[in-house]
Structure 1
Amino acid sequence: MRLPSWLSQHLAALRAVLVLTVLLGLAYPLALVAVGRIPGLDGRAGGSLVAVGGRTVGSSLIGQSFTDADGDPVPRYFQSRPSAAGDGYDPTATAASNLGPESVVDTITGDDETSSRSLLTQVCARSLAIGDLDGVDGRRPYCTPDGVGAVLAVFRADGLTGKITRVVSVNQVAPATPFVTTWQGVPVEPARPGRDYVAEGGLITPVRGDAPAQPAVPADAVTAGGSGLDPHISPAYAEIQVVRVARERGADPAAVRRLVEEHTAGRSLGFLGEPAVNVLELNLALDREYPAR
């Protein structure tokens, strides 16, 4: 007896669902779980967790902060790069800040909750703080001495041209002293909260300043990665932290540099990416060899 076409079509669809469910819903996941249990791969499949004394302290694949309860860097540890993932290194909120090179003007409302800092000011503030922490020159081009973006709003008589009539340091709020006193003969005034100097017709003018072209604080120390979960820093960032960490632990800087080298991974396949230092693994090695005094 031949089944009606509509019924045969439904039965064929049901058989396909059952077969695909068994293959893709059961067999394939179980096969991947089995592969993840192969010696040498089991640690990676479990998240590359790192344990000390039977207690999990982190993952070698996910960065973390080495700060105290107030959010200040703990001097005896190497510091990670900044993170924009949630409150920092949050795997459930992995993301970048979405701020780009044109983010140079802060939003200043007078209220910390509604104000926001531009990418330039974030970079300037981080560089200045790292310079103070590690005893290096924290100056960067286009940054003021007080750690904000060195940006002026220049007003001209005819909009884009004509005589300069007014100049405002848009990221320095009164009563702050502007980073330059005059601009082309016109006094520079500090910004006022709640003012949008771009909307008012000011021409945004970043000022390079006299900072060195190659800052002592490397780029990865002041910018967050795309994922916000980076477990590595550059050897250059590790190098400027060596003296501080050695001093805090009473260790020889040469010995600390040796540990940095031991925890530095080279380029993938010899040519992809850049050398990188795993911060968690390096700090754990320091705790083993040079415990906190």
Structure 2
Amino acid sequence: MNSWIRQHLAALRALLVLTVLLGVAYPAAVWAVARVPGLNHKAEGSLISVDGKTVGSEIIGQSFTDAEGNPLKQYFQSRPSAAGAGYDPLSTAASNLGPEDVLDTLPIPGAKDDEGNPDEGKQSLLTQVCARSKAIGELEGVDGGRPYCTQDGVGAVLKVFPDRAVSVNQACPATPFVAAYQGRPVECGKPGEDYASGRTVPIRGNIKAVVPPDAVTASGSGLDPHITPAYAELQAPRVATARGMDVGKVRELIAEHTVTRTLGFMGEPAVNVLELNLALDRAKAGS
């Protein structure tokens, strides 16, 4: 009995000591370090305020869209996000879709999902990229086409059978992006039909993409606040026109808000979208 009591008293003392150290002292030390001048801004989330109102964070991306989700033409647009509904720090993640994800699940007309909502099917990563590129091309007034994409913004993928081929991502009655493949007639895809036995053949097409990769793909975290200088340059004419500004001035602001490689060799130059948009607002207000 005495041994049993001693063991439990020792365990209780260890519990109390560790509770004080790890539950009180350590959090207090971390909090104190976070209050050190120069660190407190980062500890609070690197928030940016304008006229006393928080408008975003230096390290978390955000959308610049209207209530319907349409891009605001007077602002530079961020790269896509796969974190929750977009840029959600509580759902930070990539889509986990890879280069082999090229086949869509076509929506079946009149069908409903388990929750009673209309069946919307499922877009492959390839079709997501194609649709984004097409939309950006229309927004920026450039060719939004890219390899392995059809003109209507879906993945250019065939399922090939001995006597026919099917453009599986183009739901009927769409016209297939090619009429024939190696002597086989090409059909549009029929929702609900099983094409698993066919050979999957992505068709590259003879086209060079104008829209940069970061405009159509999400970052690994889904929270990236930066875009490449190339994507910023693509947007510059549209932003300048919407604001009635000289495009040269807009390009100057892009250059001012372009950060170089870390330590001169790590990563790539990047532009913080929120900071650039705020600089545009200030420039417009001061003009």
TM norm. shorter chain > 0.5:
yes
CA RMSD of aligned residues (A): 1.6
Deviation of 1:113 after TM superposition, in Å, equals 3.6
Hey, what's the Cα distance between the residues in 1 that align with 2:147 and 2:33?
Answer: 51
Q: Deviations over 1:212-248 (max 9, x none)?
A: 1xx2111111011111111111111111001111111
| SS of alignment partner, residue 179 of structure 1 | coil
Deviation of 1:109 after TM superposition, in Å, equals 3.0
Q: 2:202 aligns with which of 196, 203, 206?
A: 206
What amino acid maps onto 2:274 in structure 1? Answer: L
2:48 aligned partner = 50
1:145 aligned partner = 151
Deviation of 1:196 after TM superposition, in Å, equals 2.5
| SS of alignment partner, residue 190 of structure 1 | strand
| SS of alignment partner, residue 30 of structure 1 | helix
2:219 aligned partner = 225
The percentage of counterpart residues that share the same residue type is 66
What amino acid maps onto 2:205 in structure 1? Answer: G
Check 1:57–1:40 CA distance in 2 against 1; reply closer, same or farther (3 A cut).
Answer: same
Question: TM-score under structure 1 normalisation?
Answer: 0.92
1:251 aligned partner = 245
**Which segment drifts farther, 4-13 or 217-226?**
4-13
Hey, what's the Cα distance between the residues in 2 that align with 1:238 and 1:197?
Answer: 41
| SS of alignment partner, residue 164 of structure 2 | strand
Q: Which runs of 5 or more residues in structure 2 are unaligned?
A: 112-117
1:162 aligned partner = none
Hey, what's the Cα distance between the residues in 2 that align with 1:144 and 1:28?
Answer: 57
1:272 aligned partner = 266
Deviation of 1:169 after TM superposition, in Å, equals 0.5
| SS of alignment partner, residue 175 of structure 1 | coil
- Correspondence 1:81-160 to 2 at 5 A: 81-110=79-108, 113-156=119-162
**Which segment drifts farther, 64-73 or 12-21?**
12-21
Contact 1:143–1:150, Cα closer than 8 Å, also in 2: yes
Deviation of 1:114 after TM superposition, in Å, equals 4.7
Hey, what's the Cα distance between the residues in 1 that align with 2:69 and 2:249?
Answer: 28
Hey, what's the Cα distance between the residues in 2 that align with 1:88 and 1:35?
Answer: 31
What amino acid maps onto 1:42 in structure 2? Answer: N
What amino acid maps onto 1:253 in structure 2? Answer: V
Deviation of 1:194 after TM superposition, in Å, equals 0.9
